[in-house]
């Protein structure tokens, strides 16, 4: 049996089980609400990164690529959910409107603390996104209206931008492997991305919206990969009590350096906890 056939059969079995256990309308509403909540959580998942940037006053090695793709996806999704394009999509319009505002704030902060050469690159990327969006709007509002209303191009673009949004964090994995530091791939960001994709994938199965199903199915896969990488580094490079001791009588825990107190019960308790957990 091919992998694609197994994938489709799994989705079919999953949706059939939900329909048998509950009313399909009720389940769809529940997952729409859950998707709304997890989407807001997904947009807010980068707050810790920007708190770090503001506190340091520099962007260091952090990347804006994920936020640029997310901004593009929000803008295309807003066009997709316009009443003249796809009526009765108020939740999608509201969620992506909120996402657009949050991502705009993120990008503004990144620009503020970026060096000049990086700002120029970011402004070029934003200009390309705006030109692209104007072209999409012109196509949708001028050429796609009328008796043969056709928005297939917009639908495909939304699928591609959704896949790019979920897949952008995977580009950071190379840096994680090079530095052995999972700071650039926070657990909360990966987990909320995974949950958000599951909620909207389930919603799209119940509504049978292929254009929502495809990017969110890929989001589930990408999110699972991120979680696996995060857990791999968390457990593979876990510090042992023997490694904690340094020549200068310092106990090193992550990024913290704590003076060793040989006669302290607290230090012995800490070593015991590390050894057992």
Chain segment 105-153, per-residue pLDDT in tens: 999 999 999 988 899 999 999 999 999 988 888 877 776 554 445 567 7
Each residue of 78-92: b (16+ CB within 10 Å) or e? bbbbeeebbeebeeb
pLDDT tens track for 5-22: 655 556 556 555 555 555
pLDDT of residue 98: 92
Q: Are residues 258 and 175 in the same domain?
A: no
182 plus 249 within the same structural domain: no
Domain that holds residue 257: 241-276
What b-and-e string marks burial along 204-218, b requiring 16 or more CB atoms within 10 Å of the CB?
A: bbbeeeebbbbbbbb
- Of all helices (H) and strands (E), which one includes residue 256? strand 256-259
Interacting residues of 80 by C-beta distance below 8 A, sequence separation 6+: 86, 89, 92, 151, 154, 155, 158
pLDDT of residue 246: 44
Residues of the chain with pLDDT under 70: 1-25, 143-151, 236-277
Task: Fill in the DSSP letter of residue 240.
Answer: P
Same domain, 38 and 91: yes
Please report where in the chains the tokens 């999110």 appear, as a residue: 223
Number of structural domains, the chain?
2
Phi/psi at 253 (5° precision)? -120, 100
**Are 138 and 257 contained in the same domain?**
no
154 & 250 share domain: no
Q: Examine the domain organization and report whether 187 and 128 are in the same domain.
A: yes
272 shares a domain with 222: no
């Amino acid at each position: 049996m091919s992998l694609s056939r197994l994938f489709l059969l799994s989705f079919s079995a999953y949706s059939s089980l939900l329909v048998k256990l509950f009313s399909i309308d009720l389940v769809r509403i529940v997952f729409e609400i859950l998707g709304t909540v997890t989407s807001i959580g997904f947009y807010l998942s980068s707050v810790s990164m920007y708190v770090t940037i503001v506190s340091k006053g520099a962007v260091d090695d952090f990347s804006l690529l994920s936020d640029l793709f997310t901004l593009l996806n929000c803008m295309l999704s807003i066009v997709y959910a316009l009443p003249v394009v796809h009526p009765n999509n108020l939740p999608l319009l509201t969620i992506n409107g909120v996402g657009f505002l949050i991502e705009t704030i993120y990008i503004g902060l990144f620009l503020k603390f970026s060096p000049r050469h990086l700002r120029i690159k970011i402004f070029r990327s934003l200009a390309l996104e705006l030109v692209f969006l104007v072209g999409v709007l012109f196509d949708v509002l001028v050429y796609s209206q009328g008796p043969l209303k056709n928005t297939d191009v917009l639908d495909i673009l939304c699928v591609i931008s959704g896949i790019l949004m979920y897949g952008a964090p995977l580009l950071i994995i190379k840096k994680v492997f090079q530095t052995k530091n999972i700071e650039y791939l926070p657990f909360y960001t990966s987990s909320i991305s995974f949950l958000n994709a599951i909620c909207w994938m389930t919603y799209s199965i119940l509504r049978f919206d292929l254009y929502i199903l495809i990017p969110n199915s890929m989001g589930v896969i990408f999110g699972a990969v991120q979680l696996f990488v995060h857990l791999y580094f968390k457990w593979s490079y876990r510090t042992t009590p023997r490694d904690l001791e340094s020549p200068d009588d310092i106990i090193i825990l992550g990024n913290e350096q704590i003076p060793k107190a040989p006669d302290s019960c607290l230090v012995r308790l800490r070593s015991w906890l590390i050894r057992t957990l």
